[in-house]
Structure 1
Amino acid sequence: MGALRWLSVAAAAASTVSALTPDQFISAPRRSEVVPNPSGDTGLFSTSQYSFDTHSSHTWWSLIDLKSGEISTLTNDSHVSEVIWLGSDASTVLYINNTNAQIPGAVELWISDTSSFANGYKAASLPANLLGIKSVVTDSGDVRYILRGKSYPNGTVYNDKLAATLPSSARIYDSIFPRHWDTWLTPISHAVFSGTLQNTPAEGGKAQYTGAETLKNLVNPVKGAESPFPPFGGNSDYDLSPDGKWVVFKSKAPQLPLANNTASYIYLVPHDGSAKAFAINGPDSAATPTGIEGDSSYPVFSPKSDKVAYFQMADREYESDRRTLYVYTIGSDETIPSLAKDWDRSPDSVKWVGSDNLVVTSEDLARTRLFSIPVTAGDDFKPTNFTDGGSVSAHYVLPDSTILVTGSAIWTNWNVYTASPSQSVIKTLASANEIDPELSGLGPADIDEFYYQGNWTTLHSWIIYPQGFDKTKTYPLALFIHGGPQGAWRDSWSTRWNPKVFADQGYVVIAPNPTGSTGFGDALTDAIQNNWGGAPYDDLVKAWQYVHDHLDFVDTDNGVAAGASYGAYMITWIQGSEFGRKFKALVSHDGSFIGDAMIATDELWFIEHDFNGTFWTTRDNYHNWDPSGPGRVLQFSTPQLVIHSDKDYRVPVSEGIALFNVLQERGVPSRFLNFPDEDHWVTGQENSLVWHQQVLGWLNRYSGVEKSNPDAVSLDDTVNPVVNINP
């Protein structure tokens, strides 16, 4: 089969940087989004860096000049946990101090000037560890703010440090959904709180703000509501209107069982809590779009505080349904019908540009790009992207209506630039690969991509080259299989499955986007339903065959494959297939193994959608795609590393143990890596280092890289002792 399309035909040039090792990768600085000040000349961001020498992280805050890109330190104070711009002043900031002199486990609000940050003053003491602050200065000169934290059932703020210890550890549940992702549910929930700092001008009329500990719980009056909803809810789940009068927040539909649907609403409530929050797109609202019942997200007020833009899915039993954009007018029964309804993409963040236009991010062809959509857009409007490579993680509108973008790519973990619909990318201000020694020399030449014919349609795949790549030589294949199953490998930096770290061991990484992948249209995403081991498996076989036939610099005879979540499921499905004999070693991380055991997951709507029904009505579907079927187990023979963590409640740890048991009883070389304190991901830096040492060491041993590359990671390199009860 010939190449259908190459987007970059030139192979990567030899890099001047040394190989990206696991410890370099993990300890490289990690920066937040850049938030511009009101005048648009300065940006604010935080940086966190882990040290394997001190076994601790340090966080600091910096300013970046939005004209020159020059970066300067604002503060190294480790007690400063959040900083935001305050009002229209270009240099005044409001920040959270994560200590409180009077209350254990609480925080304080401080106000300072960026020119003399250390001379700030305390404006308020808060009663718990609250975060996610947003604020506005009202016409009266007061500061109205909102933030998020935990709540007792009666609505008062919950403080972990002051909570009473109960004599019994018993948990009692009368409905499903007793645990979620990594947490057992308790009566403590999450809520958005509002507060006010009064302006009591000092001498000379300069603003001076003070506030009380009293906060108003805006979520609790709605029985069963919770915002942000854990574990993925965050600052984008709520917003404060520019005039300070209104707050919007997202909550799961409180009247529906949480385990069986994705339905959520956008609630509108006065900042002072003088009225109960009302779901603008709930079942009791005349403005609710007909037939749209799925997940709502990312509510944002318009500049005039008269409208709210938000996304919503139609299907309430499908987490990967397409999001469309809606605009609700406050005080009316009007919701503008979904903008660009026929656009075959699923946007996920939005900002207003004036009162008539919006800019959204959306996955698109293995990237996350920016698109402009006018409020008047009809169903057939087709947005055009104005960013290209990489993935946008945050964007802000500057006073001149250009967009300040923070993003990343496979070759950099932080990239800051300006763009506009008319000019595309205008100027790059900073990129981590040009700042950080750990990432020095990485660049776009490290990656490539190709399209190939899959099971039923044309498919995309990334190629990631190793350091010092020479196209006249050969390198073992490392096949990456993404999770989801509705997901994708994008041109973005990953702090967990980073393909460049694998490539720099001496592999060419191939990361295909098979059936089920997002960002290529609904048809490809949806086609994985009740098809887990069908078309996606065939797509991966065809990707391997394409590489084997057309990429002479890839050694498929000594290839390896690895994946997490659904990717781990697919690894085990491959293990039980003829395709499994094409690999020297396999790695599966937190994957399902026994079809019937999927009923033990937390979000039942997920498996009931993907297998076309409940555990008892469509049981054959669960069995059809069961990697543990006897006929499949009898084919197990490729060495496999199995990773599973105790706090993974989406795919319980018993699945990993069961797979390991079967591999061992079948006499297949295998190892089980377990983290008792991790969930569906391994995020702790020390655990991540062990994870990389074990994963890379396992692959390197069987692929031959351990012998051919003296600097390659070995299983013997693990820094922390790994318990082996049966050596």
Structure 2
Amino acid sequence: MKPSDLNLLHSVSVPTIHPDGTRAVVSATRPDFAADAYVGQLWSVPLGGGTPRRITQGFADTQPRFSPDGEVLGFLRSVPGGKPQLYAVPAAGGEPVRLTDSKMGVSWFRFSPDSAQLVFSSRVPAHGRYGTVDGVGPGAEDPRLISSYKYRANGAGYTADKRVQVFLLDLPALDAEPWIAPVGRAKEASGQAGDSADGGIGGDFPEARQLTHADADATSPVFSADGKHVLFTAALHSGADEDLVSDIYALALSGTEPERLTNTAVESETLLGVSEPTPSADGQWLYFLAQDLSGTGKDFVARNTALYVLPAGSDGPARRLTDPEDTDLAEGGIVPAGESEVLVFNRTRGSVELLQIDAGGERRVLASGPLVVQGAAAAAGAVVVSYADGTTMGEAALLEAGGLRPLTDFSAQLRKDTRVAPALEEIHPSRDGYPVHGWVVLPEGPGPHPVLLNIHGGPFAQFDCAYFDEAQAYAAAGYAVVQCNPRGSAGYGQAHGRVIKEAMGTRDLDDVLAFLEGVLAAHPELDGARLGVMGGSYGGYLSAWTTANDHRFTAAIVERGFLDPLSFTGSADIGWFFGPEYTGTNTDQVLAQSPMARVGDVRTPTLVIHSEEDLRCPVDQAQRYYTALKQHGVPAELLLFPGENHELSRAGTPWHRRQRFEHVLRWWEQWLKPGNA
């Protein structure tokens, strides 16, 4: 693919299945250059055969969900420049009705078991901030007095003055007569100064009752199986600002104070970071996901996510159903299936497989192989998944006895207009013989091809087997792309991931270089004299560390990098815990893992890419590293993107993503010159 083909990349949402099992609904979203935004609509997908059809015409319609009685389809809709709001439409078809007017938008919603109510999440701005007072813009707001570690988040900005809260609303009659804005004499008589083009039902929106008011984010709210409580995730405990512990709380709809259901032991050697409260369909069990943070509540490094269960209505103790040493359920959440079973998503060796687990811990693998299962829904005996593989970024499929039967083909145009280069799976030994797993993506032609070593972020993340726009764009431009999951990565067990705790740039560096050497030895069509190294976030860290320790590379790209652990601690949104847990607290030990401390050893021409609003790896990490390269005589450029944060390459505006690709290819053309050796 070329940078101009970004608009062919469709992402598919978690599906929802109508309770009668006849059809599913997904949202399909793509970058759009004309709007410079992500656009998409909802699609109805028949399960018994037939052609999917678009059923909404919004600018950006996402997160579809059928009500339990099958009468209503809820979803989120954004208009250009607006925040997502909650809409509902009769499942049989009709005009969507807007239900919310949240100033900062709706991020999540769920129906009650009787389909009469909805619970949703929305940020609530403090009075005087974020336009809540006319004439008081961002530069005129009162100063912020900070007394906590947790006050900012990448992509959200300041968070203590706009907490995520839980709201409850009654679902109105969707067939009520629509409100008509008065005009002329009627408007004058009513005293209305203006009209509303989207004023809900009766000219107003249903009244939503705020259920939570704490100075903490309350996320992922769901109804209990009996509909009498709302369950949500939050960190409301004493000392919550100094650890990563979170809990599930139950709030009675008739009460005022939430009840803590997890981490309730007075003395415990194991503190959990909890998420995804999910009642079983039969109402007997409450499932949730959690990471073991040890006794400190902060030891998050390479901690796999496990599935836990509580008897409904109980405050513990919870039982762990999966072994975090070999199973990692960090992606996809939990999906009720059957009476007491749930579906979960296991991240393993560059794929994500679908598992079914019951309250006793019995498990079945429902879908596995070279694919990434991104979401699932279950109803009326049917299971539909959204997934990606080597030829698509997102499709929907029905689970059958023989495997997955694709139901959509949103990537048809992508395959028609571009060459999808296959990713060859390989394993090569590291310096100590440890097997390193990864892929090589080859361009067309006999070679010799210049080679790009691409390093993923995280570090506790993984390259996977799904279509990857980065690798495809570089292969189309004539480069072979080498990418692997070194020690420190996810998907290979906790021991694999924890090797680099307080030892970054050691085994992980050995692994990526050894894998590169193994690929070069196995592929004589690759040019070992024309090598580039690149990566973002932790990948930016390891790229910069590589060029400080190894001078074989012709050029490098260091993007949104974790480059100076010392200054990171005071400037990054996660700096108060990330650096101490990964690089330690002893200054000499930290400096021994710091690319900034070793920048004087770099000889490799380097393009430094960063976003100005990046709070995960703040922009000064890039600015200081770039300046130091220049001071040491290294050819260097600094590419800064305004208005973007740490997610530029994945979720930045379409034009910025395209421009980023164009600059990356320009840099590699300048130094590696494919086809002109």
Task: Tell me the TM-score range normalised by the shorter chain.
Answer: 0.7 to 0.9
SS class of match (1:436): helix
Match of residue 464 from structure 1:
441
Deviation, structure 1 residue 532: 0.8
Give the whole-Å Cα distance in 1 for the aligned partners of 2:546 and 2:352.
30
- 1:97–1:570 CA distance, 2 compared to 1 (3 A): closer
Alpha-carbon distance in 1 for matches of 2:148, 2:129: 27
Structure 1 residues 49 and 596: CA distance shift in structure 2, 3 A: closer
1:585 aligns with 2:555: yes
The CA distance in 1 between the partners of 2:129 and 2:454, in whole Å, is: 42
2:235 equivalent in structure 1: 252
Residue aligning to 1:86: 67
1:604-642 per-position Cα deviation (integer Å, ceiling 9, x unaligned): 221111123x3xxx222211112233xx43432211100
* Corresponding position of 2:350: 366
- With over 3 angstroms needed to count, the CA separation of the structure-2 counterparts of 1:41 and 1:242, relative to structure 1, is farther
| SS of 1:561 mapped into structure 2 | strand
1:687-715 Cα offsets, whole Å, 9 max, x none, are 1111111111101221112747xxxxxxx
Secondary structure, in 3 states, of the residue corresponding to 2:292? coil
**How far does the alpha carbon of each residue in 1:92-139 deviate from its partner, in whole angstroms, 9 at most, with x for none?**
42355658xxxx989574433444x23x5x48554543342221352x
Give the counterpart letter for 2:664 in structure 1: V
User: Does the alignment pair 1:341 with 2:318?
Assistant: no
Other-structure match for 2:450: 476
Deviation at 1:263, TM superposition (A): 0.8
Given that 2:442 and 2:480 are in contact with CA atoms closer than 8 Å, whether structure 1 keeps it comes out as yes
The one-letter amino acid paired with 1:266 is I
Tell me how far 1:669 sits from its aligned partner: 1.5
Aligned-pair CA distance for 1:454? 1.7
Which residue does the alignment assign to 1:407? 387
Q: Cα offset for 1:329?
A: 1.7
Secondary structure of 1:576 counterpart? helix
Supply the distance in 1 between the matched residues of 2:123 and 2:339 (Cα, whole angstroms).
34
Percent identity at matched positions?
A: 18
Change (3 A) 1:486 1:359: same
Name the TM-score, length of structure 1 as normaliser: 0.80
Query: In the alignment, is residue 677 of structure 1 matched against residue 643 of structure 2?
Result: yes
Check 1:573–1:458 CA distance in 2 against 1; reply closer, same or farther (3 A cut).
same
Structure 2 CA distance for aligned equivalents of residues 51 and 492 of structure 1: 22
Conserved? CA contact 2:548–2:602, under 8 Å: yes
Structure 1 residues 44 and 593, CA, compared in 2 at 3 Å: closer, same or farther? same
* Residue 205 of structure 2 is aligned to residue 239 of structure 1: no
Equivalent of 2:592, from 624, 647, 655?
624
Q: CA RMSD in A?
A: 3.1
Task: Give the whole-Å Cα distance in 1 for the aligned partners of 2:505 and 2:133.
Answer: 48
Change in Cα spacing, 1:621 to 1:431, as seen in structure 2 (3 Å) is farther
Unmatched segments (≥5 aa) in structure 1: 1-19, 204-208, 229-236, 709-727
Aligned to 1:193: 167
- Distance in 1 separating the partners of 2:417 and 2:144: 51
* CA–CA distance in structure 2, aligned partners of residues 289 and 338 of structure 1: 18
Does structure 2 conserve the Cα–Cα contact (< 8 Å) formed by 1:109 and 1:126?
no
Select which of 667, 689, 693 maps to 2:658. Answer: 689
Structure 2 equivalent of residue 541 of structure 1: 513
Cα separation, partners in 2 of 1:202 and 1:666, compared to 1, 3 Å:
closer
Q: Whole-Å Cα distance in 2 between the matches of residues 86 and 246 of structure 1? A: 18
Q: 1:506 aligns with which of 471, 478, 496?
A: 478
Given that residues 105 and 160 in structure 1 are in contact (C-alpha distance below 8 angstroms), is that contact kept between their aligned partners in structure 2?
A: no
Structure 1 partner of 2:186: none
Partner of 1:219: 212
2:613 alignment partner AA = K
SS of 1:430's partner is coil
Partners of 1:242 and 1:333 in 2: how far apart?
16
Cα distance in 1 for partners of 2:175, 2:158 equals 47
- Structure 1 counterpart SS, 2:55: strand
Tell me by how many angstroms 1:238 deviates. Answer: 2.8
Matched residue, 2:304 = 322
After TM superposition, the structure 1 = structure 2 runs for residues 146-225 of structure 1, keeping only pairs within 5 Å, are 146-152=119-125, 162-164=132-134, 165=136, 167-182=140-155, 183-197=157-171, 213-220=206-213, 223-225=214-216
Distance of aligned partners of 1:161 and 1:31 in 2 relative to their CA distance in 1, 3 Å threshold: farther
The equivalences for 1:274-673 within 5 A come to: 274-282=255-263, 285=264, 290-315=268-293, 316-319=297-300, 320-341=302-323, 344-348=326-330, 349-377=333-361, 384=365, 386-400=367-381, 402-419=382-399, 423=401, 425-433=403-411, 435-437=412-414, 440=417, 446-456=422-432, 457-466=434-443, 469-470=444-445, 472-494=446-468, 498-577=470-549, 579=550, 581-600=551-570, 601-603=572-574, 604-612=576-584, 614=585, 618-629=586-597, 632-673=598-639
CA offsets, 1:275-309, max 9 Å, x none? 42112103xx36x9953313111211111234210
Residue ranges of structure 2 left out of the alignment (5+ in a row): 178-200
CA offsets, 1:318-359, max 9 Å, x none? 333122211112323444420133651211322232233222
Cα offset for 1:567? 0.8
Q: How far apart, CA to CA, are the structure 2 residues paired with 1:641 and 1:58?
A: 31
Structure 2 CA distance for partners of 1:152 and 1:276, relative to 1, 3 Å: farther
Is the 2:165–2:212 contact (alpha carbons within 8 Å) kept by the matching residues of 1?
yes
User: 2:277 corresponds to which letter in structure 1?
Assistant: P
Query: Hey, what's the Cα distance between the residues in 1 that align with 2:404 and 2:9?
Result: 27
Separation (CA, whole Å) in 1 of partners of 2:414 and 2:638? 34
